[in-house]
Structure 1
Amino acid sequence: MNRLCVHTITTKPLSLEQVAEAYPKAGVSGVTVWRDALEGRDIAASGRLLRDAGLEIVSLCRGGFFPHTEPAKRKLAIADNLRAIDEAAALGAPLIVLVCGAAADQPLETSRRQIAEGIAEIEPYARAANVKLAIEPLHPMYADTRSAINTLAQANDLAMQIGSGFVGVAVDVYHLWWDPALQQEIYRCGSNGKLFAFHICDWRVPTRDLLLDRGLMGEGCIPVKQIRQWVEAAGFDGYHEVEIFSTEYWSGDQYVFLERIREAYIHHS
């Protein structure tokens, strides 16, 4: 099975029509769709476009961003997550990746409690729509505003606390490669049936921008092959999702970039 998936954000300049044409030609068989790529579009028709091209829709990115100091904003976040579930169902995506959020003007513990409350609130709606939710822990450098869930242990604990077969975790090597407990926590979520997604890229040395300078596998210091072995040993047999934010790569030829992604995937992941 070809398990190479590419996120639409990775090739951000391409339209969905171009994605549908270019990804299969580059040997990509899966696609994770970012919500920005769906703006102004018929979502169900967009799903048909991708499937008719031979692409499996792996997930929708992204939901989350639950914490706020103002209750009204927390309610707006819930409403947006319910819309994301509707979008995933219309698209035909079986999974939504949750970037959980954080509020810099309140303690991390408060943000974490609000995240747990938010996921618990949307879980029945997701279950009714047959859409799973993957909690993605983010690197601690993003603990200010992007996510108060920063280790796989925290994500595992939260998924187990919620106790739903529709809530699990996403393992992203960019965010977790540094964690000394990574292997045991991968095995833990695998044994509990909570390992829903696996995202790959690389950490450049030096990193020129902490958000927009991810590298292709093999361009940095992340032991992608080792982590992939742990993930597969934990029972994961899903797609390997290439998720790269890079102003450098976005400025270049996206068709050449897709060929480089395929080569990096073959040789370095």
Structure 2
Amino acid sequence: MTSDQLAIHTFTTKPWSIDECIENYARHGFGGISIWRETVEGEDLARVSRRLKDSGLKPVSYVRGGFFTGTTAEARRQAIDNNLRIIRDSETLGLPMIVLVCGATPGQSPRENLSQIQDSIAAILPAAENAGIRLAIEPLHPMYAGDRCAVATMADANDLCEALNHPLLGVAADVYHIWWDSKLEQEITRCAAADRLFAFHVCDFKADLEHPLLDRELPGQGLGTCARVNDLVKAAGFSGMTEVEIFSRRYWTENQHQFLEKIKAACAPLR
């Protein structure tokens, strides 16, 4: 896979500002960018949008919305309001898709969390439709199911999409979170057949994680899951940009230009 087929998530190069990300991703020959909200916090979003348009990078997604669950109606209403703001910000930035990490509240059952997630997505879909922005539900690894995301499998995400049945609602498949699923091929095929496979994220999973969130690895440097999942996604018909999303305290201490070159080399064997 060539670098112009890759989009880099700005959290991958966390030490850089949004301007450094835009300038250097383009300089290194990457094709696109997915912008994390943390990277543009406090920035003039219209200015960032202009800078992005001038860069030649393809705008892929805004990360992240969601976190819909809560024990009170007021908490859930505030989450909906926050996501409506995220939709407006995504529109200002010119980013056509928002990745949803849907949330989970400790003490609630998975079914309660999933029900609240479904209701909340339904509440924000009209605003997404008005803005022409797609919403991509990202299933997270089950280790996050208690307090971060009750959507733990591709099947969970597919079920939510089927229940809401909206053309702007789909799934973001992230290797780190879904590689372990014995029904993965079936659910990727199901998702793609319904035209709901909106995004594909790569990094590798390590067996000896030092941190459950911030110790991800380059493709091919962990359990070797990327190539297999990449082949499943491509065989299902996914033709969008492959997004690189690596959270690593170790790589963040390195020279970020060298890190980007490592990403190119690691992703090159992917088809």
- Could you tell me the TM-score, scaled by structure 1's length? 0.97
What amino acid is the match of 2:260? L
Deviations 1:123-151 (A, max 9, x none): 01101100000000000000011100000
User: 1:216 aligned to 2:218?
Assistant: yes
Paired position in structure 2 for 1:128: 130
Q: How does 1:36-115 map to 2 (within 5 A)?
A: 36-115=38-117
Q: How does 1:125-164 map to 2 (within 5 A)?
A: 125-164=127-166
Tell me how far apart the structure 2 counterparts of residues 222 and 81 of structure 1 sit (CA, whole Å). 35
RMSD: 1.1
Q: How does 1:137-216 map to 2 (within 5 A)?
A: 137-216=139-218
What amino acid is the match of 1:200? V
Helix, strand or coil for the counterpart of 2:12? coil
Preserved contact between residue 220 and residue 227 of structure 2 (Cα < 8 Å): no
Tell me how far apart the structure 1 counterparts of residues 111 and 31 of structure 2 sit (CA, whole Å). 40
- The aligned length equals 269
Tell me how far apart the structure 1 counterparts of residues 269 and 195 of structure 2 sit (CA, whole Å). 29
Helix, strand or coil for the counterpart of 1:61? strand
What amino acid is the match of 2:166? S
Preserved contact between residue 102 and residue 111 of structure 1 (Cα < 8 Å): yes
Range with bigger deviation, 258-267 or 161-170: 258-267
Query: Once the 2 structures are TM-superposed, how far is the Cα of residue 205 of structure 1 from its aligned partner?
Result: 2.9
Tell me how far apart the structure 1 counterparts of residues 44 and 31 of structure 2 sit (CA, whole Å). 22
Helix, strand or coil for the counterpart of 1:57? strand
Tell me how far apart the structure 2 counterparts of residues 190 and 222 of structure 1 sit (CA, whole Å). 23
Range with bigger deviation, 225-234 or 161-170: 225-234
Preserved contact between residue 205 and residue 225 of structure 2 (Cα < 8 Å): no
Deviations 1:81-114 (A, max 9, x none): 0011001100011100000000012111111100
Query: Once the 2 structures are TM-superposed, how far is the Cα of residue 11 of structure 1 from its aligned partner?
Result: 0.2
Tell me how far apart the structure 1 counterparts of residues 191 and 50 of structure 2 sit (CA, whole Å). 32
Paired position in structure 2 for 1:34: 36
Preserved contact between residue 26 and residue 262 of structure 1 (Cα < 8 Å): no
Return structure 1 stretches of 4+ with deviation > 4 angstroms: none
Query: Once the 2 structures are TM-superposed, how far is the Cα of residue 60 of structure 1 from its aligned partner?
Result: 0.1
Range with bigger deviation, 36-45 or 150-159: 36-45
Tell me how far apart the structure 2 counterparts of residues 131 and 21 of structure 1 sit (CA, whole Å). 25
Preserved contact between residue 218 and residue 268 of structure 1 (Cα < 8 Å): no
Query: Once the 2 structures are TM-superposed, how far is the Cα of residue 16 of structure 1 from its aligned partner?
Result: 1.4
